[in-house]
Structure 1
Amino acid sequence: MDFLASPEFWLALGQIIIIDILLGGDNAVVIALACRKLPPAQRTKGIIWGTAGAIILRVILIAFAMTLLALPFLKFVGALLLVWIGVKLLAPDEDGHGDVQGSDKLLAAIKTIIVADLVMSVDNVIAIAGAAQNAGEHSFLLVVLGLLISIPIIVWGSQLVIKLMERFPLIITLGGMLLGWIAGGMLVTDPVFANPDKWQWMFKMPQSDVVKYGASVAGALIVLAVGKFIVSRRTTGGDAAHG
């Protein structure tokens, strides 16, 4: 237990807590968006099971964190998935509710949570793994503590966001745009763009805050535009069908 007296241990743990607070909010938004249409009795189940599945995947991701960091096109594919999820949240499928069982809705929400968290947790996982390495032989303990700390942050945060969305529907639109923002930032930091010398055939993208923020803004606007376009097409089609 001597490690408890080590400043490095507590410094690393503090870094992990800050990382979870800063990056866990995005996951809370996704969970809230995915569960917002579930009956109140199923929301807690969706949040708990979705978060549990996401945490299990995080353990696996951390085990391969440094390898994942070097994989080309990982963040590129993840960015495309986030854009797709963001558009789906702004323009959800209009399935009939009569033949859909509650359990189907619950499973769909859980699936959305796990997929979104898997994509969005890459930076979170790598940051936690990097911070934990500062504690040497106790790094695995810090990883476990970091995951345990992230659970209440994500669960409590998502429940709060659900309540806010019921009162302020604009949050749904902002949540979808947030996914687009994250997607843009992920795309331009993919290794094939960040280290173009290793992939001579790739387009050389300048790495700067201006480029990253520009890509983030573009991602947010793309999600908003595509989502609104799909909704307007459905509205126009519905009016024509009833005309």
Structure 2
Amino acid sequence: MEWITDPAIWVAFLTLLLLEIVLGIDNLVFISILSDRLPPEQRKKARTIGLSLALITRLLLLAALSWVVGLTAPLFTVFGHEISGRDLILLAGGIFLLVKAVHEIHQTLEGAQESKARTAVSFRAVIFQIVLLDIVFSLDSVITAVGMVDELAVMIAAVVVSMVIMLVSAGAIAGFVQRHPTVKMLALAFLVLIGASLVAEGLDAHISKGYIYGPIAFSIAVEMLNLRMSSLKAKAKANQKQASETE
């Protein structure tokens, strides 16, 4: 247990924790959008179950490190490209995320059919879709952890702490996305981008995370400015209306 007092271990833990949170946000946004299709009384339960299953999946994968590492071994070759078990999972997950995100965008744009589509979605169907994406995001998360840290206890600690943070902030993030339709559309566009990157990774075309999360961070900053400006305009109109009524 001497590694507990090693500053380098703590630096690795904090770095891994930050990366796990970033990867977890993708999963949380997807869970929030899916749970929004459910009745209000079931949404919190769906988010809690989804994130809990994500945590369990990550811990199980960490417990099977040798199997996870083995997923990177080539299984067969297609047009000169070696395909591993990890590639197959990333391809399947990326395609699923692309299809689901595009479908959600279509449902959001078709406002007249939104209520009908929402009632047609069952709680079990939402949980099933969450589980499918949990596997993909968990695999990416665990492989990142294995590549950064050697101590299993540090990996487990970073994963657990990051998921606790996600559980605590899930309600606030889901509520924010639900209240602001433009943010929801932006989040769905991000999911399309992430799905495309997963497909590219599955085809051995590595895309640096910086090229993905950099534009996402910039877009979020611009959207926050737009929301702030809209809020100020609404407050100014309310103040003008109140002033005219008092005259």
The 5 A counterparts of 1:78-227 are 78-92=93-107, 94-95=116-117, 97=119, 105-133=122-150, 139-190=151-202, 192-194=203-205
The 5 A counterparts of 1:13-32 are 13-32=13-32
Task: Give 5+ residue unaligned stretches, structure 2.
Answer: 74-83, 108-113, 217-247
Answer with 79-88 or 117-126: which moved more: 117-126
In the TM superposition, residue 106 of structure 1 has moved relative to its aligned partner by: 2.5
| TM-score, normalisation: structure 2 | 0.66
Matched residue pairs, number? Answer: 190
Q: Using a 3 Å threshold, how does the CA distance of structure 1 residues 166 and 186 change in structure 2: closer, same or farther?
A: closer
Residues 20 and 124 in structure 1, CA contact (< 8 A), matched pair in contact too: yes
In the TM superposition, residue 95 of structure 1 has moved relative to its aligned partner by: 4.4
Q: Measure, in 2, the Cα distance between the counterparts of 1:185 and 1:208.
A: 7
Residues 128 and 143 in structure 1, CA contact (< 8 A), matched pair in contact too: yes
Q: Measure, in 2, the Cα distance between the counterparts of 1:68 and 1:153.
A: 29
Residues 51 and 114 in structure 1, CA contact (< 8 A), matched pair in contact too: no
**Alignment partner of 1:68 is 2:83:** no
Q: Using a 3 Å threshold, how does the CA distance of structure 1 residues 95 and 154 change in structure 2: closer, same or farther?
A: same
Residue number in structure 1 paired with 2:55:
55
Q: Measure, in 1, the Cα distance between the counterparts of 2:52 and 2:92.
A: 24
In the TM superposition, residue 144 of structure 1 has moved relative to its aligned partner by: 1.7
Task: Give 5+ residue unaligned stretches, structure 1.
Answer: 134-138, 195-206, 218-243
Residues 82 and 119 in structure 1, CA contact (< 8 A), matched pair in contact too: no
In structure 2, what residue type is equivalent to 1:74?
A: I
Q: Measure, in 1, the Cα distance between the counterparts of 2:197 and 2:160.
A: 27
Highest Rg: 1 or 2? 2
Percent identity for Structure 1 against Structure 2: 24
Compute the RMSD of aligned alpha carbons: 2.8
Q: Measure, in 2, the Cα distance between the counterparts of 1:183 and 1:28.
A: 15
The C-alpha deviation readout for 1:31-74, integer Å capped at 9, x for no partner, is 11011133333222111111111222222333233223342433
Q: Using a 3 Å threshold, how does the CA distance of structure 1 residues 165 and 18 change in structure 2: closer, same or farther?
A: closer
In the TM superposition, residue 141 of structure 1 has moved relative to its aligned partner by: 1.1
In the TM superposition, residue 26 of structure 1 has moved relative to its aligned partner by: 0.8
Residues 93 and 133 in structure 2, CA contact (< 8 A), matched pair in contact too: no
Residues 20 and 153 in structure 1, CA contact (< 8 A), matched pair in contact too: no
In the TM superposition, residue 154 of structure 1 has moved relative to its aligned partner by: 2.1
Q: Using a 3 Å threshold, how does the CA distance of structure 1 residues 176 and 208 change in structure 2: closer, same or farther?
A: closer
In the TM superposition, residue 145 of structure 1 has moved relative to its aligned partner by: 0.7
Q: Secondary structure of the residue that 1:38 maps to in structure 2?
A: coil
| TM-score, normalisation: structure 1 | 0.67
